[in-house]
Structure 1
């Protein structure tokens, strides 16, 4: 996780320092930086198809975390552990890869939810018009870990590539806040964006939702909650390797039980921290694939990673949405793991997935 120092994130500081370092390290002859990224070790047993760039990031994450699994830590310790984003930053430094020029402005604020407030970060494209598409983005982290900085690369990329104002939501985390707190916070944030669209430079008729992992689950759940509460629906739902099942008996759980950075033991740890009991796992807001009615939901883009315990359930939910008459675009990216979506500076498949997501969102924004 990104550390905090006097209100500013350590990760943000690293971005600035690395950008300066990269600009200072250019050769006088204008030679381009090294771009061939290769891992140090053999392919892991859990991922024989893993791509070199993806493996390099996983190796770096292992190095930063000293091989300590998150599920052996307390939630408080896990929130301070190195993240996949930290690993990408370290790989970029190792290979002298330049930071992209920021194309959005960011502001932060707190918004009201039942029982308190939560933080959001607003990404506004530079020179934005008075009325733009909007995207409410929900971070991953199993409803337990991660923060706005951890998933900054994804939210920033979506804003830059779609021209939408992205509102990234830091919902309250478990175990301090059990189910359904994160789900209620997610829905409250969606309603807040709708209610404050004009001030955010957002067209209230062109708001979509998106999320990764637990955030993908929340984005899908917000669509169900909005439909059932007769609240205007999002125009699109971008679901990136969403949690869509409580049981862990799917083919991808069997095949990738020990994968990194997400494994079967870590998913069990997340469920144990967020759910009050196994009965919560049966809720259609957790087990999306068991929702009794998926009709009338907005078009969906479902993105999965091959080397990921959540692959099967993500594709199952995509199939069930399609069977219910929902327009669905879905793709499984080969050779990559959970968390790959935000790794575009290093992992080519992340660039491809972001381009697909942006293209599908822009269709719905028209």
Structure 2
């Protein structure tokens, strides 16, 4: 229910912003959208993201949950073994994975003092968004059914933020316990063709090119259920407390503000953090930067408050 602005720009952020705007955004505009080009991008992305270095302050264990490859990241300081975070990586539904997002998932684990399950879901061009959401939701259901955790937080950046929001919606649809909190780092929240955004001030995302990915998003084998727009009132009423981090002026800032408006109308606690001079999904893209650390700290602090408030409410109900 509040918007917090951060204006701690530095030289590194300034240089990165303009490199992305001049080089990366230009490349994204000119690269054709096809099965072949997406396949080549995925190969390059997987090669660039590989990282065999150990994660500082956490243990990483590979596993398979509900058929999806995952990494279970457990911080050395495990404050609450009964709380977990389901993390869903970004990448426009066709790029990135466990390697590229291990650092941000581990940062969330360390800051929150809780286990993070980092998920590799199926992506384009082999599978559409409905399948990506199905995979993320299947892992969430398995985590709930395991009985290991009392509280599960859903989190994601960019496209992963959309999957996390649909997990909330699907859980409500099926009568499951909803996630206990939501963390979004520059979350994509509206896939409707009518979504009205501008990428004029965005350092990375050319919205018109992303719209050309729609035929890939609509591929099966699992169809997408529910509204394409996850910021509407119908979804907001089932949302848990939510914290969202964005770069000021990025194209997806509008998604964050639309969600905030709906959550406010529904009376759901929420907090939006806007960072000036940063790039889209900077907590995942620039791990370890001062701004990323600040964003992760703010998100973890919000989640701790939300979980504490929920426990206090339950305690009062039990004693009544």
Q: TM-score higher than 0.5 here?
A: yes
Structure-1 residue corresponding to 2:258: 316
Is the 8 Å Cα contact of residues 307 and 338 (structure 1) preserved in structure 2?
Answer: no
Unmatched tracts of structure 2, length 5 or more: 1-7, 309-320
Unmatched tracts of structure 1, length 5 or more: 1-48, 90-98, 199-203
Kindly indicate whether residue 188 of structure 2 is the aligned counterpart of residue 243 of structure 1. yes
Q: Kindly report the root-mean-square deviation, in angstroms, between the aligned alpha carbons of the 2 structures.
A: 3.2
RCO higher in structure (CA 8 A, sep ≥6): 2
Classify the secondary structure of the residue corresponding to 2:239.
Answer: coil
Pairing partner for 2:211 from 252, 257, 268: 268
Structure-2 residue corresponding to 1:142: 92
Structure with more of its chain in helix, by fraction: 2
Cα distance between partner residues in 1 of 2:261 and 2:16? 31
Kindly indicate whether residue 20 of structure 2 is the aligned counterpart of residue 72 of structure 1. no
Structure-1 residue corresponding to 2:162: 217
Q: Which deviates more from structure 2 when the two are superposed, residues 57-66 or residues 299-308?
A: 57-66
**Per-residue deviation, residues 44-72 of structure 1 (Å, max 9, x unmatched):** xxxxx985322433566689979633743
Cα distance between partner residues in 1 of 2:45 and 2:235? 39
Residue 119 of structure 1 deviates from its aligned partner by 0.6
**Per-residue deviation, residues 192-228 of structure 1 (Å, max 9, x unmatched):** 1122353xxxxx2221110111111111111111112
Classify the secondary structure of the residue corresponding to 2:64.
Answer: strand
**Per-residue deviation, residues 224-261 of structure 1 (Å, max 9, x unmatched):** 111121101111011221112233653x51533xx432
1:77-88 mapped onto 2 (5 Å cutoff): 77-81=40-44
Classify the secondary structure of the residue corresponding to 1:358.
Answer: helix
**Per-residue deviation, residues 62-101 of structure 1 (Å, max 9, x unmatched):** 8997963374361111113359x86xx9xxxxxxxxx997
**Per-residue deviation, residues 302-321 of structure 1 (Å, max 9, x unmatched):** 22111421111221112111
Cα distance between partner residues in 1 of 2:254 and 2:175? 31
Aligned length: 290
- Asked which structure has the greater CA Rg, the reply is 1
Q: Which deviates more from structure 2 when the two are superposed, residues 164-173 or residues 236-245?
A: 236-245
Q: What's the TM-score, normalizing by structure 1?
A: 0.70
Residue 276 of structure 1 deviates from its aligned partner by 4.3
Q: What's the TM-score, normalizing by structure 2?
A: 0.79
Cα distance between partner residues in 1 of 2:24 and 2:207? 19
